[in-house]
Amino acid sequence: MAREAYLVPVVEAQVATLKKKTAVTTSWISIDAKGQSVILDVDKYAIMRRVQVHARDLRILDPMLSYPSTILGREKVIVLNLEHIKAIITAEEVLLRDPYDDNVILIVAELKRRLPQDNLTCQDQGEEEEEHPSARNDMDTEEENEFPFEFRALEVALEAICSFLDARTRELEIDAYPALDELTSKISSRNLDRVRKLKSAMTRLTNRVQKVRDELEQLLDDDDDMADLYLSRKLAGACSPVSSFSVPSWYPPSPTIGSKISRTSRASAVTVEEDNDVEELEMLLEAYFMQIDSTLNKLTTLREYIDDTEDYINIQLDNHRNQLIQSSS
C-alpha cells in the first residue's frame, strides 16, 4: 500500500511535465515598420513575454472563446479582436494570429504594403533644415499628416473589417431582394424556406455588424480610452525630453495643436494638452464608424423589407382563409 501511495504523485508529476512539453502552439505573423514579416509558431507564454501582455487580454484573441469585438488599449499594446482579425499592435510591430487563414492573408499583404514609411529622425530633419530652410514648412505639413505606426496598423484592420462586412451585406442583398419579390408573386414552401434561411443569415450578420459598430461608438465616447491607444506618444513621454528620439516625426497629434505650438516646443517635451488630445484618432475612428453604420443601415432596410413582405404574405393568407371559410359555409 505504501508503494502505491508513493507512485501516485510520481505519475501526476510525469503527466504535468508531459502537458508542459506539449503546450499548444499557435501560428502568428510579426510585421514590423519596414513591412518585413516573420512567422512565429509559439505558445501563449512566448507571446506574453514578447509584447508584455496579460493572459486575460490574450484570452480575448482565442477563437475558441466567444469574445465580442474589442479594441483594447493597454500600456504598450493595442489588443484587436474584430471578426477574423485577431491582432496585437505595438509601437513597432503587428502580431496577427492565424496567418494562413485566407482572410488574414489579404490583411497581411495590405499591412506589408502600407506600414513602411520613410520617417526621418529629429536629428536628420534638423540637418536638412539647415541645408534647405525653405523646405521647413513642407516638412511641418508632412509631420502633421503622418500617422504613428500603431494607427497605420489600426487603420488597415478597420478598413479590412468594414469592407469585409459590407461585402457580406451586399451579397445578402443580392440574394434576398429577388427572393422576397419571388415570394410575393408566388407563395410556396420552397420560397418560404428560402426566405427563412436568408432572414436567419441577415440576423446573424446584423449582430456581427452591430458589435463592431458598438465597439467603435464606445471608444469614441471615451477620450481616455482613445488616449490609451497612443502607444508612440506614451513611448515618447517615457524617454528623456532632450533625446533626439524622444518625440517621433508624427508630432503634433493634430493640425490644431500644431498651429499653436512651435516646432521647438514640440520637440522639447510632451505637454499635458498634447497627451489629452485625441483629435487625430477620433477622426480616424469616425470615418470607419460612419462606414460600419452605413452597412448597418443597409441591413436595417433589408429587415424592414422582410417585415413588409411578411405582413403582405400574412394578409394574403388571411384573405385566402376567409375565402375558404365563406365558400364552405
DSSP summary character for residue 52: T
pLDDT one-digit tens code per residue, 76-95 = 999 999 999 999 999 999 99
Which grid coordinates belong to 229?
A: 491607444
Q: Is the confidence at residue 16, as pLDDT, over 80? A: no
Least-confidence region, from 83-97, 105-119, 132-146, 199-213: 132-146
With cell 533644415, the residue in question is: 129
Q: Is the confidence at residue 316, as pLDDT, over 90? A: no
**Spatial separation of the C-alpha atoms in residues 46 and 25, rounded to whole Å:** 10
The answer to whether the beta carbons of residues 96 and 31 sit under 8 Å apart is: yes
**Spatial separation of the C-alpha atoms in residues 250 and 63, rounded to whole Å:** 35
Q: How many residues does the chain have?
A: 329
**Spatial separation of the C-alpha atoms in residues 276 and 223, rounded to whole Å:** 8
Ordered strands of the 37-42 beta sheet? 37-42, 26-32, 93-97, 85-89, 78-82, 70-73
ω before 255 within 30° of 0 (cis)? no
CA distances from 85 to 61, 162, 261 (A): 9, 11, 38
Which grid coordinates belong to 288?
A: 470607419
The answer to whether the beta carbons of residues 88 and 123 sit under 8 Å apart is: no
Q: How distant is the alpha carbon of residue 313 from its chain centre?
A: 41
Of 288, 279, 40, 291, whose CA–CA distance to 156 is shortest? Answer: 288
Least-confidence region, from 134-143, 278-287, 303-312: 134-143
Q: Is the confidence at residue 26, as pLDDT, over 70? A: yes
pLDDT bracket for residue 255 (50, 70, 90): very low
Catalogue all structural domains in the chain, each as residue range(s) with its CATH number: 25-116+147-236+278-328 (1.20.58.340)
Q: Is 111 helix (H, G, I), strand (E, B) or coil?
A: helix
Strand partners, 97: 28
**Does residue 251 or residue 114 have the better pLDDT?**
114
**Spatial separation of the C-alpha atoms in residues 216 and 235, rounded to whole Å:** 24
The answer to whether the beta carbons of residues 153 and 111 sit under 8 Å apart is: yes
Q: Is the confidence at residue 141, as pLDDT, over 90? A: no
**Does residue 291 or residue 244 have the better pLDDT?**
291
Q: Percent of the chain beyond pLDDT 90?
A: 56
The answer to whether the beta carbons of residues 59 and 47 sit under 8 Å apart is: no
**Spatial separation of the C-alpha atoms in residues 225 and 230, rounded to whole Å:** 10
- The DSSP-derived string for 114-153 is HS---PPPHHHHHHHHHH-GGGHHHHHHHHHHPPPHHHHH
